[in-house]
Amino acid sequence: MYFRKETNASYNFVAPNIEKDADKKVEVVFPTAEFVEPTLSSNAAEVKVERDTTIVDLGTLEAAATLTLTPSASLNIGAKVVVKAASDGTARAVTVKRDATTTVDTISGTANTAKAKQYMWTGSAWIAIS
């Protein structure tokens, strides 16, 4: 429980009443958020996703790029990642991967424009949310 000293307000998590969870111990990692600006090396970057909300800003691309979103072992189902990238004067695409061999999606670029796309973790895969 957390108390806000200035207003004497208290905040607490409340467990849901879900019948199928009766007599189970359900653990969920505390929700946190992060903003990252990874450095592209050879037009590729990897981000280890450890939080419920991660915002990845690739900046302005000068070439097509590959972004690998590596989920941590304790990542909550339903965790979300927003990937943002801008193209310079030429349309630049971002290939989003889960690992070296699994492509999740491609974000098509538009010249001189920033684009963003959101992905959700299912427990075994990233899915694009449109």
pLDDT of 2-29, one tens digit each? 677 888 888 788 888 999 999 999 887 7
Q: What is the pLDDT at residue 1?
A: 66
**Residue 74 amino acid letter:** S
Q: Which residues contact 112 (CB under 8 A, 6 or more apart)?
A: 86, 87, 88, 89
pLDDT, tens digit, for every residue of 33-90?
999 999 999 999 999 999 999 999 999 999 999 999 999 998 999 999 999 999 999 9
- Closest-CA residue to 71 (of 89, 87, 51): 51
Q: What is the pLDDT at residue 6?
A: 86
**Residue 83 amino acid letter:** V
How far out from the chain centre does Cα 61 lie? Answer: 19
pLDDT, tens digit, for every residue of 95-117?
999 998 999 999 999 999 999 99
Q: What is the pLDDT at residue 15?
A: 85
Maximal CA-CA distance, the chain = 58
Share of the chain above pLDDT 70, in %: 98
